[in-house]
Structure 1
C-alpha cells in the first residue's frame, strides 16, 4: 500500500502546482484523481486537493504533510509571518534541513515520518549544529521511543505529530541552545552573494577590493574573522529576509496548500492563476 501511494510524494510539488495553475496537462494529477477521488467532475480543484490531502492525513503522512503541518502550526498559528521566516530544504554540509524557522532565534526541524528510517539521523544532527544552535526532530508516535533513545542526553528537541482527526503537534522536549559546534565555513555556505556582502559590509564598513577570481574566498576569510556568535547573529538577520509574503494572500490559501504557496515565490500573475485554478471545476 505504501508503494502504491508513493505517487503522492510527486503530487504536492512546485512543478506540479505551476503546471496546474497554468493549464498544462499533468499525468500525475490525473492519476492521483483516479486513485483517490470519487466523482471528480462534480468538484472544483480546491475540493479535489482537499480530499487528496485528507487521504494523506489518514493513510500516508509523507514529508510534505509534516512540513505543511509545521508551517501551519508553528509559523501561522504560533508565530507571525511578518516577524518570522521559514526556510525549507536548506543545504547544510552533507545534509538538507527539512524546515527552519527564524524569529528571535533559529530552529532546524528534522522531519522523520513514519515512512522514514532513522539511519542518517545522527549524521544530519551533527551537520545542523555546524550552522544552527537549536535543532528539533519531528517524528511520528511509531518512532518516538527510538528517537528518544538516540537523543537522550542531547540538546535536541523532540516533537510528535500525533495521529487523529485533528493533527496535533505534541512537544515532548524543547530544544536547548548548543553553539559549541558552530562553524564559520558551514554558515557562510548558507548565504547568497548579496547576503554575505551585507554581513561583510556591516561588520567592516566596506567590501573587499580584490579580483573577482579571489572575491568569494576573501569574503569567506573576512567572515571567518568575525567572532562566531556575532557571525551567526548576522547570518540569521540575513536569512530572515528571505521568503517574505503578505499574510493577506496566505490567509486565503487552503490549509492543504499553505506550504506550497509560501515557498513558491508567486508573482501577482501566479496568485491570480492559483486562485482561479482552485475555484475552477475539474476538467474545465
Structure 2
C-alpha cells in the first residue's frame, strides 16, 4: 500500500498544485481523487482536498504533512505571520533544510517522518550548525527512542508529532543555542546577492570595488571580517525579509494547503484561481 501512496507526495507540490488550478485535467489530481475519495461529483475541490489530507493524516504522514503541521502549529499557532518568517528547502553546505522559522532567533527543523530513514541525520545536523545556531529534529513516536539516544547530550532539540497530530509535550527537548560551528562561507552561501550587499553596506558603508570576476570573493572576504555573531544576526535580519505574503488572502487558505501556498509566492492571478478552484465542483 505504501508504494501506491507515493503519488500523494506529488499532489502537494507547487508544480502539480498550480497546474491543477489552471487545468482541470491534471493527471496526478484525477488519479488521487479517484483512488482515495468516494462520491466525487457531489463534492467541490476544497472538500476533496480535505478528504485526501484526512487520509494522509491517518495513513501516510509524509514530509508535506509534517511541514504543514509545523507551519500551522508554530508559525500560525505560536508565532505570527507578521513577525515571523518561515523558509523551506534552503541549501546549507551539502544538505537542505526542511523548515526554518525566523523571528528573534532562527531554528532549523529537520523532518524525519515514520516513512524516513535516519541514515543521513548526523551529516545534516552538522551542516545546519554551520549556518544556524538552533537546530531541532521533528520526528514520529516510532523514531523517538533512537533519536533521543543519539541526541540526548547535544544541543539539538527533539519534537515528536503524535498519532493525534499534536506536538508532544512529554517527548520534547528544546534546542539550545550552539555557535561553535558557525562558518562564514556556509552562512554567506545561504544569502542572496542583494542580501549580502545589504549586510556589507550596513556594516562598512560601502561595497568592494573590483571586477565582476572577483566581486563574489571580495564580498565573502569582507563578510568574513565581521565578528561572527554580528554577521550571523545581520544574516537573520535579511532572511527574515523573505516570504512576505498577503495576510488577508492567506487567512482564507484552508488548513490543509497553508504550507503549500505560503512557500509558493502566489500572484494575484494565483489567489483568484485558488479561490475558484476550491469552490468548484470536481470536473466542473
Q: TM-score range by the shorter chain?
A: over 0.9
RMSD over aligned CA atoms reads 0.8
Matches within 5 A, 1:126-165: 126-164=126-164
Partners in 2 of 1:230 and 1:170 — Cα distance? Answer: 34
Partners in 2 of 1:186 and 1:226 — Cα distance? Answer: 15
* 1:106-136 deviations in Å (ceiling 9; x for gaps): 0000000000010000000000000000000
Q: What is the match of residue 119 of structure 2?
A: 119
Matches within 5 A, 1:66-77: 66-77=66-77
Q: CA shift at 1:39, angstroms?
A: 1.1
Q: What is the match of residue 169 of structure 1?
A: 167
| SS, match of residue 2 in structure 2 | coil
Partners in 2 of 1:152 and 1:59 — Cα distance? Answer: 29
5+ residue gaps in structure 1?
none
Q: What is the match of residue 210 of structure 1?
A: 210
Moved over 3 A (4+): none
* 1:4-60 deviations in Å (ceiling 9; x for gaps): 111111110000111011125311111101110101111100100000000000000
* 1:152-173 deviations in Å (ceiling 9; x for gaps): 2000000000002xx2112411
Q: What is the match of residue 40 of structure 1?
A: 40
Q: TM-score, normalised by structure 1?
A: 0.98
* 1:165-190 deviations in Å (ceiling 9; x for gaps): xx211241100000100000000000
Partners in 1 of 2:6 and 2:66 — Cα distance? Answer: 15
Q: What is the match of residue 5 of structure 1?
A: 5
1:88 aligns with 2:73: no
Partners in 2 of 1:24 and 1:193 — Cα distance? Answer: 39
* 1:127-150 deviations in Å (ceiling 9; x for gaps): 000000000000000000000011
| CA contact 1:160–1:170 (8 Å) conserved in 2 | yes
Partners in 1 of 2:28 and 2:21 — Cα distance? Answer: 14
Q: CA shift at 1:247, angstroms?
A: 2.1
* 1:172-231 deviations in Å (ceiling 9; x for gaps): 110000010000000000010100000011010011111111111111111011111000
| CA contact 2:139–2:161 (8 Å) conserved in 1 | yes
Partners in 1 of 2:42 and 2:233 — Cα distance? Answer: 52
| CA contact 1:19–1:25 (8 Å) conserved in 2 | no
Q: 1:24 to 1:211 in 2, by over 3 A?
A: farther
Q: CA shift at 1:2, angstroms?
A: 1.0
Q: CA shift at 1:271, angstroms?
A: 0.3
Q: What is the match of residue 64 of structure 1?
A: 64
Q: How many residues are aligned here?
A: 282
| SS, match of residue 131 in structure 1 | coil
Partners in 2 of 1:98 and 1:45 — Cα distance? Answer: 28
| CA contact 1:184–1:223 (8 Å) conserved in 2 | yes
5+ residue gaps in structure 2?
none
Partners in 1 of 2:199 and 2:188 — Cα distance? Answer: 10
